[in-house]
Amino acid sequence: MSIRINLLPPELRSQGVEPRLKLILGASALGLAAVALSCWLYFVYETNGLRDGLVAKRGELTALRQEAMRVDSLLDEISDYKARERAIISIKTNRILWSKKLAELVRLTPDHIWVARFDMRERDPEEKPRPGDEPGSGGSLRLLCYSAGSQVGRMTAFREKLKGADEFYLDFLDESLKPGNFYSDFQSISRPEWKSVVLEGFREPNNLRFTIRLDLRAPQENTKAES
């Protein structure tokens, strides 16, 4: 048998909790628990919604990146087609009729000079200039010639005949006004490099062997193709 002694003063001793107060406290606790559970469920729902939205946005971003790659590919193809178009127009615009050039060369070559060999090299616009190329040159035509006899003046006269005009005159003449002669597709012509040679069996065994180099004009792009 145990004896319990309450040492608190009578005014502080608990007289017990009324049933009504217990009901109110229990209902309040249940309400708080319900509110906390509702908040937790709401946050879970919102978190799932945000996660689904993030996944959807990532999918849209991936689709946009793929679309951007397709657009870039199309732009590259368009740029390539435009470059080809400009190249084709440039070729058609700057095409040199070499058969006509050769016929003109034959007409300009006097009887005492003969062309033994000619080397023609056209330079691609994307190709870097080689050593010895003139600035802006589109290539070169090199003539290996012989002149009967030892008269140097024949070489210089042939050079001037190929050129068709004086250098000073051509420097101040507008490109569109220059005559369409043999020299019209060239931008410069070198001085003859020559040496004396002996050709056995010829009527004049003492002859001059010389070379002349003509630099082609660079192809001019047609700007109308870019519009």
- pLDDT tens sequence for the chain (227 residues): 566 665 555 655 555 556 666 677 777 778 788 888 888 888 778 787 778 778 888 888 888 888 888 888 888 888 888 877 766 665 555 567 778 888 888 888 999 998 999 888 877 666 666 666 666 677 888 999 999 988 899 988 999 888 874 444 555 555 444 445 778 888 888 888 889 998 887 878 889 999 999 988 876 544 443 43
Mean pLDDT across the chain: 76
pLDDT of res. 166: 45
Same domain, 45 and 127: no
With 0.75 as the threshold, say if the pTM is over it. no
Same domain, 188 and 86: no
Same-domain check for residues 170 and 206: yes
| Residue 171: domain span | 96-221
pLDDT at residue 210 in the model: 94
Do 67 and 170 lie in a common domain?
no
Same domain, 122 and 68: no
Is 60 among the domain residues?
A: yes
Residue 59 shares a structural domain with residue 103: no
Q: Residue 101 falls within a domain, yes or no?
A: yes
- Quote the pLDDT of residue 22: 65
User: DSSP characters for the chain?
Assistant: -------S-GGGS-----HHHHHHHHHHHHHHHHHHHHHHHHHHHHHHHHHHHHHHHHHHHHHHHHHHHHHHHHHHHHHHHHHHHHHHHHHHHH---HHHHHHHHHHHS-TTEEEEEEEEEEPPTTSPPPTTPPTTEEEEEEEEEEEESS-HHHHHHHHHHHH-S-HHHHHTS-GGGS--SGGGGEEEEPPPEEEEEE-TTSSS-EEEEEEEEEEEEPPPP-GGGG-
Residue where a domain terminates, one of 95, 115, 145: 95
- What does the pLDDT read at residue 3? 65
pLDDT at 211: 93
Number of structural domains found in the chain: 2
The reply to whether 156 and 80 lie within a common domain is no
Question: Which domain CATH number covers 103?
Answer: 3.30.70
Residues 49 and 70 reside in one and the same domain: yes
pLDDT digits (tens, 9 = 90+) for 185-216: 888 888 888 899 988 878 788 899 999 999 88
Is there a single domain that holds both residue 81 and residue 174?
no
11 within some domain: no
Q: Does the residue 176 lie in any domain?
A: yes
Does residue 10 lie in a domain region?
no
Residue 13 lies in a domain: no
- Residue that terminates a domain, selected from 60, 95, 130: 95
Question: Do residue 132 and residue 146 come from a single domain?
Answer: yes
Residue 185 lies in a domain: yes
Q: Quick one: 29 and 45 in the same domain? A: yes
